[in-house]
Chains A and B, each alone.
Chain A
């Protein structure tokens, strides 16, 4: 059950894990098979909770000894009192949400901070795809064609930053990945990053 090896995690989850302090209360929205929560429980002694829509995901979480509830994110969040968690995580799920603005506000209501990771359609490959090939770009870190993904809403790093300004959400941290590699703080992240990780407060 215990796997404390950092390398089992997807690249963006590794970055997220490094932002979590020991003993935190962490809520993972769309926690999948519970890999991140299990890892954080074993390495950071967090108190973890998850919400997951798929039955195989929920069963996998229970077999990992995690506390998880089956349901969509709206259901998962609304029952929690304000400030129930230190950190609420939403990894690679943002483009699939029907009410992303509502979910992010809810994350900041039930948690002291929110960490969001999403694939960046502003990446140069995506731009070239439409410009030169005339085809809708697939996010490099979420390569699903238009007909296979459930109602994806493509967004870029700039789009998300605009959203934070508009909603008066403070960005405490921004980290960018190109594949598995972390980008330095300089450069054009919207062009270079395949995935962005934002810590919001």
Chain B
């Protein structure tokens, strides 16, 4: 692998907070202590004004860039590194795993201090607002008064928008990509089908399975459904066609005939190795609750105090999960409050996954947009450039399951 523009070997870090005073949640419950897993790339400038917070999607984690000790490449490594869209020579890039997650942050698989057993369904239901509230503790801890930008696709885009509405004074620019300001009935329906797949797995046992076999069949099925929604009909034709999967002719049985079946089964199984079924339930629920207009009367009203932030909104023509009209509604609301918003509906056949796959166009757009914020707001670049990458582990696995929603 060419690692000249990689951030190199990265290490996951942890911040634990809300030990003495638990963090209030949107549901009215409280949660504490909370641990967030996070990674950072690049270095802060003198006045801590060059920080970019990257927000991951449903199945993502804190490992967004570089290569970790296990040899795994970050999920948005194409866009994070020296000279890339989020240029680590210029920006201090942060990514944290959300609360409710299962990759280092406090979630349903974490130990409940009250019982010394995993939370399971004792874990309080969380919202995108709660995820962002927890991220604010991390940004406070890192000493960052105002983020240069918050950026993310899909659920990450919702978190970015939630930052703008919740903490407008802490954000200069926002990049919500392939996302929505409000989960649609179709999205809720798809979430529910995924959850039902998990509930139907006898191993799920109402969330209490950490001592026994895991509800892998249910989780894998939920993931398969998810993967269909991340593709487009055209990208399926392109990727699989009607090709057979390791067979010369039809088997006339119920083994895997078609390549697309093999792909979904493979992806579903792979997912169970790294993801917790209860986290899938909690995070999809958080997405379903997401509606920024809630309590404001209209979407425009929600952004009334966020009009000083500069926005780059991007949608993709073949994304049927978060179709372009979601982004247009968002752009309309932002325009109505007088915000500076740039909107691009990019031509792509990749469906929802396009925000991770259209690397060349995204690199250009993001780099140009951030460059403009730096110029207009007079952001200084860090005095010490990011350290040169240390030598990487010999075996590097490109995790083909990094695509998320």
Contacts and interface: CB of A to CB of B under 8 A. Distances in A.
Interface string A163-187: 0000000000000000000000000
B267 to A, nearest CB: 30
A66 B342 CA distance: 8
Contacts of B375: 65
Contact of B372 (A49, A65, A70, A75): A65
A58 B314 CA distance: 11
A55 B316 CA distance: 11
Nearest to B343: A69
Interface in B333-385: 335-336, 338, 340-347, 361, 364-365, 368-369, 371-372, 375-376
Contacts of A68: 342-343
Interface stretch (A79-87, A134-142, A148-156, A193-201): A79-87
Nearest to A76: B335
Nearest to B375: A65
Contact of A80 (B335, B364, B372): B335
Contacts of A4: none
Interface string B283-325: 0000000000000000000000000001010000000000000
B338 A84 contact: yes
B326 interface: no
Given A59-B364, A62-B342, A70-B343, A79 B331 contact: yes
B368 A62 contact: yes
A59 B344 contact: yes
A76 B335 CA distance: 9
A62 B369 contact: yes
Given A67-B342, A69-B341, A79 B335 contact: yes
A60 to B, nearest CB: 10
A71 interface: yes
A62 B344 contact: yes
Of the candidates B341, B343, B369, the one having the most CB atoms from chain A within 10 angstroms of its own CB is: B343
A45 interface: no
A83 to B, nearest CB: 11
Interface residues of A, number: 20
B136 interface: no
Q: Name which of A61, A66, A71, A79 has the most chain B CB atoms within 10 A of its CB.
A: A79
B332 interface: yes
Contact of A63 (B328, B336, B340, B364): B364
A197 B368 CA distance: 33
Given A62-B342, A65-B371, A81 B331 contact: no
Contact of A70 (B340, B345, B361): B345
A75 B365 CA distance: 22
A170 B338 CA distance: 27
Nearest to A51: B343
A69 B342 contact: yes
A81 B333 CA distance: 11
A65 B369 CA distance: 7
B374 to A, nearest CB: 10
User: Which of A59, A67, A80, A81: most chain B CB closer than 10 A?
Assistant: A67
A59 B365 contact: yes
Contacts of A71: 328, 343, 345
Contacts of B371: 65
B340 A69 contact: no
Contacts of A65: 368, 371-372, 375-376
Contacts of B364: 59, 62-63
Nearest to B340: A67
A149 B376 CA distance: 39
A49 B310 CA distance: 12
Nearest to A58: B344
A101 to B, nearest CB: 23
B232 to A, nearest CB: 18
A172 B371 CA distance: 39
Nearest to B300: A79
A84 B334 CA distance: 13
Nearest to A68: B342
Contacts of A84: 338
Interface in A21-40: none
Contacts of A59: 344, 361, 364-365
A69 B331 contact: yes
A42 to B, nearest CB: 12
A55 B347 contact: yes
A138 to B, nearest CB: 30
A63 B347 CA distance: 18
Contacts of A58: 342, 344
Kindly name the residue among B331, B342, B369 whose own CB sees the greatest number of chain A CB atoms within 10 A. Answer: B342
B4 to A, nearest CB: 24
Contacts of B312: 62
B341 A70 contact: no
B336 A75 contact: no
Q: Which 4 A-B pairs have the closest CB atoms?
A: A79-B335, A69-B343, A65-B372, A79-B332
Interface of B: 310, 312, 328, 331-332, 335-336, 338, 340-347, 361, 364-365, 368-369, 371-372, 375-376
12 contacts: A55-B345, A55-B347, A59-B361, A62-B312, A62-B368, A62-B372, A65-B372, A66-B342, A68-B342, A71-B343, A71-B345, A80-B336
Given A75-B328, A81-B336, A84-B338, 5 more contacts: A55-B345, A59-B361, A67-B340, A69-B331, A71-B345
